[in-house]
Amino acid sequence: MIRIENLTKEFGAKRAVDSLSFTVERGEVVGFLGPNGAGKSTTMRMITGFIPPTSGRVLVGDHDVVQDPIAAKRLIGYLPENAASYPDMTVLGFLNFAAALRGLTGDAKKKAVHRAVEMCSLDRVLYQSIDTLSKGYRHRTCLAQSLVHDPAVLVLDEPTDGLDPNQKHEVRKLIRELGRTKAVVFSTHILEEVDAACSRAIIIDRGRIVANGNPEELRALAPNAGAVTLQLGAADAEQAEQRLAGIPGVARVERSGERITVYPSEKRASGELARAVAELAGREGWALAALRTEEGHLDEVFRSITLPDTHGSQAKPSGGAA
Amino acid sequence: MSAGNSPTWIIARRELGSYFSSPVAYVFLVIFLLLTGFFSFAQGGFFDRGEASLVAFFAWHPWLFLLLVPAIGMRLWAEERRAGTLELLLTMPVTTWQAIIGKFLASWIFLAVALLLTFPAVITVNLLGSPDNGVIATGYLGSLLLAGAYLAVTCLTSAMTRNQVVSFILAIVILMFLILAGFGPVTELVSRWAGPTVVNAVAAFSVMTHFDGFQRGVIDLRDLLYFLSVIGFALFANGLVIRNLRAG
Ligand SMILES: Nc1ncnc2c1ncn2[C@@H]1O[C@H](COP(=O)(O)OP(=O)(O)O)[C@@H](O)[C@H]1O
Ligand SMILES: [Mg+2]
């Protein structure tokens, strides 16, 4: 549904988005991750036709967003970064306005607004002026606006930003459900949302894609993914360190107190290294207190392949991962 | 889609709704009516003229509108930019032109309502004497066009900033030029060192020059064209500003 080809955006000399290419199909929820200033919002603004790309193109459905903006925009529901809405309107007035601009009239409009109101649990505040709403409600009002025409494509810029944990949970659940029938892209810098809502995640850094895959694939990129951690009695730990290093295919061994981590020289099928370690422990008669194969944490992946906030700074020397 | 459901009208209706949902609109209307009354009846010497006409009433409009029209239009784009709703609006399936025309129309309609509410003045002169109601009608047409031209300039300045006050001041500065280029005392000053051709050329850009005819009951095609092209040009520039904004 969304097809992005070599998408680039320059602001003056600064390249905010640097030849991105990816696609999102119906039934997918793609998490768009990256540190602040990575270019997430800029990319989304180009997908939704708010700003034109410097080069490259975006197809939504079969419509080029620059050549045929109206047709492309009809297919998209968009929640902008700040979730802005007209403060002087009531929730119902605002949703009616959005529905009307989406070409809905009469009964169809009423039904569509009602559906969006239910999905976002707004029935209690329908007649309230938006500027009197709490942040959570304001956010959901804007979210409802993006759903009112039941779009095939949803672009959500930080949809859980500023919500409390319960609201975050609700929104993630909603995104997961919507993702069954729609093509959804949402940006976030909260890594747990990848597991909570995404079928795939794309990590970008300084405008470039540095990782693209499902959560398991991404986790495998963690520096310690596939390593085996074991915990031994104090007496055994010291000599075990050297013995473990002797296992074929082990790159290095790290010990801190009684906890030892064994890194394989190449990431292999899970369990293999753990079995070898357990066998050795059995033969040596170590008092094994714990043994575990590391899955890798997303935040470690994130930290190892992106650089800290790049806001306002000039290009930094490139880190190994890009 | 019928005209009532076109994006332009949907946007215009929202803008109009937001005028009337806030007390500001009513305060504006009251101030407008009080000021027109005060200037034309007290300052304009309405009763001393000894003639039944609204000349004094209309003569103040270029100056009254100088403050009131920017006050009405300053918010149109600046507020969308400040609140971030511009992004929402322009990612809807609407064109920039539909948004520009919709906003302009909403405010123009609001100003037309304000003008309509001055009808007691028409009734008054008709009770006091027998004015030429044709002249009054062209006078109103002139005022409406004048308000439209001022408003289009304000739309443009409103798009140039996210600060309403800045857009208000910018509009007044530009409108001052448009007024003064043809204002009697200024044209006299210019004529001291420039030939009549220059004076006339400068004055041709002024709203005053083109506003006069309507007050005398004359609808000159050139005057009509002048106001329509000021509106067209300012709204076109408005579109360029928005396009620039989006291009980053
Ligand atoms: N309108 C703009 N003009 C100039 N620079 C911009 C503009 N919008 C974004 N940028 C810059 O582009 C980079 C990417 O910004 P953004 O897409 O907002 O990042 P993210 O959403 O990932 O935090 C940032 O360095 C930001 O300062
Ligand atoms: Mg952002």
List per-residue pLDDT tens for chain A, 322 residues long.
999 999 999 999 999 999 999 999 999 999 999 888 999 999 999 999 999 999 999 999 999 999 999 999 999 999 999 899 999 999 999 999 999 999 999 999 999 999 999 999 999 999 999 999 998 899 999 999 999 999 999 999 999 988 888 989 999 999 999 999 999 999 988 878 888 888 899 999 999 998 888 877 777 777 777 788 888 877 777 777 887 888 887 888 888 878 888 888 776 656 778 888 888 888 888 888 888 887 777 777 777 777 665 444 444 333 333 3
- Distance, in Å, from the CA atom of A220 to the CA atom of A212, rounded to the nearest integer, reads 12
Domain count, chain B: 1
Q: Which residues of chain A have a Cβ shorter than 8 Å from any chain B Cβ?
A: 9, 11, 45, 48-52, 69-71, 73-74, 76, 78, 80-82, 84-89, 93, 97-98, 100-103, 105, 142, 145
Domain parsing of chain A, residue ranges? 2-219, 228-288
Region B67-72 average pLDDT: 94
Mean pLDDT value across chain B: 89
Token readout for A234 is 């104090």
DSSP letter string, A6-65: EEEEEETTEEEEEEEEEEE-TT-EEEEE--TTSSHHHHHHHHTTSS--SEEEEEETTEET
Instruction: Give CA A39 to chain center in angstroms.
Output: 13
Ramachandran angles phi, psi of A262, nearest 5°: -110, 120
- Distance, in Å, from the CA atom of A55 to the CA atom of B103, rounded to the nearest integer, reads 32
Specify the amino acid at residue B50.
Answer: G
* Residue B46 pLDDT: 59
Distance (Å) from the alpha carbon of A289 to chain B's nearest alpha carbon: 56
* Residue A6 pLDDT: 96
- List CB contacts (< 8 A) between A65 and chain B: none
The partner residues of A156 in beta bridges, in order of sequence, read: A79, A186
- The reply to whether residue A78 touches residue B83, judged by beta carbons under 8 angstroms, is no
* Residue A277 pLDDT: 82
Tell whether B220 lies on the interface with A, counting CB pairs under 8 A: no
Distance (Å) from the alpha carbon of A42 to chain B's nearest alpha carbon: 10
- List CB contacts (< 8 A) between A84 and chain B: 83-85, 87-88
- Distance, in Å, from the CA atom of B167 to the CA atom of B159, rounded to the nearest integer, reads 8
- The reply to whether residue A89 touches residue B17, judged by beta carbons under 8 angstroms, is yes
Ramachandran angles phi, psi of A210, nearest 5°: -110, -15
Q: Count other C-beta atoms under 10 Å from residue A166's C-beta.
A: 9
Say yes or no: CB of residue A37 within 6 Å of ligand 1.
yes
SS3 (DSSP) at B207 = helix
| pLDDT exceeds 50 at position B113 | yes
CATH fold, domain A228-288, is: Alpha-Beta Plaits (3.30.70)
Region B182-190 average pLDDT: 77
Specify the amino acid at residue B88.
Answer: L
DSSP letter string, A279-313: HHHHHHT--EEEEEE----HHHHHHHHS-S--TTP
* Residue showing tokens 């600060």: B163
Q: What is chain B's Cα-based Rg?
A: 19
* Residue B130 pLDDT: 84
Ramachandran angles phi, psi of A264, nearest 5°: -75, 155
Region B66-72 average pLDDT: 94
SS3 (DSSP) at A227 = coil
What CATH number is given for A2-219 in this structure?
A: 3.40.50.300
Given 3-state DSSP classes, what are the helix, strand and coil percentages for chain B, each rounded to the nearest 5?
80, 0, 20
* Residue A284 pLDDT: 80
Who has greater pLDDT, B11 or B200? B11
Specify the amino acid at residue A185.
Answer: V
Structural domain of residue B243, as residue ranges?
3-247
What burial letters (b/e) apply to B215-228, b meaning 16+ CB within 10 Å?
Answer: bebeeeeebbebbe
Instruction: Name the pLDDT band for B45 (thresholds 50, 70, 90).
Output: low
- Distance, in Å, from the CA atom of A151 to the CA atom of A98, rounded to the nearest integer, reads 13
- Distance, in Å, from the CA atom of B152 to the CA atom of A108, rounded to the nearest integer, reads 36
